[in-house]
């Protein structure tokens, strides 16, 4: 669903699939096609990562799975459950905390799973799907529910699906200008 | 530069601009056009972030800037300087560690800057540009060189530019299969 009100008001031209991305609260509870879901996960797979560690995992539940969807929904904070229950797919994202090659801490794991989810989101947008990410999860419940080992860390949840056009999602998107976060020569000095 | 040998061998269809992305060691030392650089940064700007905090900043130096480019290059570890010196643009990426709204730690800052750099990378790929990210930076030197405050953390460097077709960059890309990192119902259980 393209939505002109939500489109990024970009000051420099950017790809449609980046400009048209936004995070809906109102999902339409329809099925996400399996082949589209697989392509979204495949897109995540091909992200860059430090030493090609690929420190990302995804626990996935589709809305029509009456066993797994409620279990995953229950790992979200209540405020998120209220809207995420209509997403066609829910996921818990998990990072690995150490490099598999030498057991040393991977300080790039969270950065790298962000890259992978950026890929997933671009792929989703190309299908007309939307992604809403949540920091608000119950990490210990997720760990317990899925038996996630101590070597790994549940980080976020993702709602993926088709957007409904509800009132809550009409506010325009806003961002700081480049001059506030792109610097040259010294911190705070705009290019 | 499209490079069939480097294209992702995807098991499910993904966007060309995700499949054709890879991280060159051999950059062609040509200028990156200013309008393309601005679009890449603009793409980063419109990423999602927790509470819309936008916890990302970028210190940018173009190769033709004879003052700033060597200063930034000097913030990389030596092994990275050897190849990154040919990138058209170098950047230091910086996260903010606290939410501006309440001063609390932002546990999503590294994840969110990953999302933003995912956007930047997709935009770059659409221009035929390439991105090579580096964890290997001298963080204290970066902090000192640019007077980065304690509230913020230098995280990575980015080389952005046109790829040369050097021997070092001919190896095919490899990734773990989805079955190793996409689970259903329990950790380690493939969907």
pLDDT digits (tens, 9 = 90+) for B121-175: 999 999 999 999 999 999 999 999 999 999 999 999 999 999 997 777 888 899 9
pLDDT score recorded for residue A2: 55
Half-sphere exposure for B50 (CA within 13 Å, toward CB): 28
pLDDT score recorded for residue B2: 55
- For A59, residues 6+ apart whose C-beta sits below 8 A from its C-beta are A72, A91, A92, A94, A142, A146, B183, B184, B187
Domain A23-163 homologous superfamily, CATH:
NADH Oxidase (3.40.109.10)
Q: What is the ipTM of this complex?
A: 0.96
At A1, the pLDDT band (50, 70, 90 cuts) reads very low
Q: Which of B13, B39, B48 is facing A12, going by the closest CB pair?
A: B39
Write out residues 25-84 of A within 8 Å (CB-CB) of B. Answer: 35, 38-39, 41-43, 45-48, 50, 52, 54, 56-61, 67-68, 71
Q: Quote the minimal CA–CA distance from A88 to chain B in Å.
A: 15
Apex B80 CA angle, B79 and B82, nearest 5: 75
The reply to whether residue A114 touches residue B119, judged by beta carbons under 8 angstroms, is no
B4 pLDDT higher than 90: no
Q: Quote the minimal CA–CA distance from A152 to chain B in Å.
A: 10
3-state SS assignment for residue A38:
helix
pLDDT score recorded for residue A169: 82
Note whether B47 and B55 are within 8 A (CB).
no
Q: Where are the domains of chain A?
A: 23-163
Closest CA in chain A for residue B40? A14
Reported as a single tens digit per residue, the pLDDT across A90-117 is 999 999 999 999 999 999 999 999 999 9
Q: Quote the minimal CA–CA distance from A69 to chain B in Å.
A: 9
Half-sphere exposure for A90 (CA within 13 Å, toward CB): 31
Two structure tokens written together for B7 = 């294209």
Reported as a single tens digit per residue, the pLDDT across B49-92 is 999 999 999 999 999 999 999 999 999 999 999 999 999 999 99
Reported as a single tens digit per residue, the pLDDT across A122-178 is 999 999 999 999 999 999 999 999 999 999 999 999 999 999 977 778 888 999 999
Whether A21 and chain B come into contact, CB under 8 Å, resolves to yes
The reply to whether residue B146 touches residue A185, judged by beta carbons under 8 angstroms, is yes
3-state SS assignment for residue B176:
coil
CATH 3.40.109.10 fits B14-164, yes or no: yes
Task: Give the pLDDT mean for A72-96.
Answer: 98
Contacts by B121-124, CB closer than 8 A, 24 or more apart: B121/A48, B121/A115, B121/A118, B121/B21, B122/A15, B122/A17, B122/A18, B122/A118, B122/A119, B122/A122, B122/B17, B122/B18, B122/B21, B122/B43, B123/A14, B123/A15, B123/A18, B123/B39, B123/B40, B123/B42, B123/B43, B124/B36, B124/B40, B124/B160
Write out residues 168-187 of B within 8 Å (CB-CB) of A. Answer: 173-176, 178, 181-187
């Amino acid at each position: 669903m393209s939505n002109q009100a939500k489109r990024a008001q970009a000051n420099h031209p950017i790809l449609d699939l980046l400009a048209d991305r936004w995070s809906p609260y109102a999902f339409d509870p329809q099925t996400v096609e399996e082949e589209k879901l697989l392509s979204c996960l495949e897109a995540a797979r091909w992200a860059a990562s430090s030493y090609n560690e690929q420190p990302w995992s995804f626990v996935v539940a589709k809305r029509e799975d009456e066993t797994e969807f409620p279990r995953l929904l229950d790992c979200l904070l209540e405020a998120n459950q209220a809207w995420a229950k209509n997403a066609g797919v829910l996921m818990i994202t998990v990072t690995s905390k150490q490099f598999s090659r030498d057991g040393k801490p991977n300080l790039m794991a969270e950065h790298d799973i962000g890259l992978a989810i950026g890929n997933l989101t671009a792929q989703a947008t190309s299908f007309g799907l939307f992604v809403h990410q949540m920091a608000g999860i119950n990490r210990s419940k997720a760990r317990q529910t899925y038996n996630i080992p101590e070597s790994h860390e549940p980080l976020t949840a993702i709602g993926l699906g088709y957007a409904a056009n509800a009132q809550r999602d009409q506010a325009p998107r806003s961002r700081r200008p480049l001059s506030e976060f792109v610097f040259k020569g010294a911190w705070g000095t705009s290019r």
